[in-house]
Amino acid sequence: MSIFNDIIKPEGPRTLRHFIVLSAVLLISACAGQAIGPVQLTPAKPDSGAYAKVYLMRPGTERMMGFADNPLDVDANDKPLVRLAKAEYTLVTLPPGRVQLTAHNQTSFGPSHKIKKISRTRTVTLVEGQTYYIILRPIDGEFRGAYFMPEQLEFAEARVVAASLRATGPARTAPIPSLPQQ
C-alpha cells in the first residue's frame, strides 16, 4: 500500500475532494501571480515641460519563441522605461532631443542552448510636441538567439500594426487606431 493511499483512505472521497480543490487553488494562484501589461518603470511627466509622445509597440509572434516570449524591457538613455508583454503597445512621454531606445531580452543560443541577455539600441531624435511610433521588431537569429530591434514607423503602418495589438497603460485612453489621420 502506498503512502498516498494511507493519506487519502482514512477520510475516503471527502479527503480526495479536498485534495483536488486545494491543488486547483494552488495551480490557479500560481498562474495569477504573473504580471500582465506594461510596467511603467519611469513615470511619464508631461506636465513638467516640453515632451514628445512615443508609442512603443511589441507585436505578437507567429510561433512560440521560448525565452523571447517573456516580457521585454525597454530603456531610454540607459534608464528603465517600460516592460511590455507580447502583442502590447503603450504610450510614453520623453524629452525632446536624441534618445537611445534599447530593448533587452533573454534568449537561448547555440547548440547547448545557453541563456544570455541580448540588447539592441536605436537612436531617435525627438521633436517637442511630435508623436512617434516605435515597433520592437522580433528578429529570429536562429542559433544566435532571438532579439528585438527598435524601428520607427510611419503613422499609417503603425495604425495597421496596432490593430492586432492590445493597448495598455496610457495608450488605453489614446489608442493608435482611434487617432486622426496624420
**For position 127, what pLDDT does the model report?**
95
Pair (23, 89) in one structural domain: no
Does residue 172 sit within a domain? yes
Pair (99, 153) in one structural domain: yes
Pair (16, 58) in one structural domain: no
Does residue 182 sit within a domain? no
Q: Distance (Å, rounded) from C-alpha 68 to C-alpha 107?
A: 6
Pair (21, 108) in one structural domain: no
Pair (17, 65) in one structural domain: no
Question: b or e along 95-133 (b: 16 or more beta carbons within 10 Å of the residue's beta carbon)?
Answer: eeeebebbbbbbbbbeeeeeeeebebeeebebeeeebbb
Q: Distance (Å, rounded) from C-alpha 135 to C-alpha 143?
A: 23
Does residue 152 sit within a domain? yes
Domain CATH code at residue 48: 2.60.40
Res. 82 pLDDT band, cuts 50 70 90: very high
Residue 54 φ then ψ, to 5°: -130, 120
Which of 152 and 26 is assigned the larger pLDDT? 152
φ/ψ region of 144 (left if φ > 0, alpha if ψ in -120 to 50, else beta) reads: alpha
Q: Is 162 helix (H, G, I), strand (E, B) or coil?
A: helix
Q: 81: Cβ–Cβ under 8 A, 6 or more apart, which residues?
A: 41, 42, 56, 74, 75, 92, 101
Pair (89, 148) in one structural domain: yes
Residue 39 has pLDDT above 70, yes or no: no
Pair (79, 62) in one structural domain: yes
Does residue 88 sit within a domain? yes
Pair (24, 75) in one structural domain: no
Is residue 29 within a helix (H) or strand (E), and if so which, with residue range? helix 13-32
| Structural domain range at position 48 | 39-176
Whole-model pTM above 0.85? no
Copy the grid coordinates of residue 29: 494562484
Pair (24, 88) in one structural domain: no
**For position 87, what pLDDT does the model report?**
92
Does residue 158 sit within a domain? yes
Does residue 15 sit within a domain? yes
Pair (11, 70) in one structural domain: no
Does residue 143 sit within a domain? yes
Cβ–Cβ < 8 Å for 173, 182: no
Pair (23, 52) in one structural domain: no
Mean pLDDT of all residues belonging to the chain: 78
Which of 103 and 14 is assigned the larger pLDDT? 103
Each residue's pLDDT tens digit, 114-141: 787 888 999 999 999 999 999 999 887 6
Does residue 170 sit within a domain? yes
Specify the number of domains making up the chain.
Answer: 2
Pair (160, 74) in one structural domain: yes
pLDDT > 90 in the chain, percent: 45
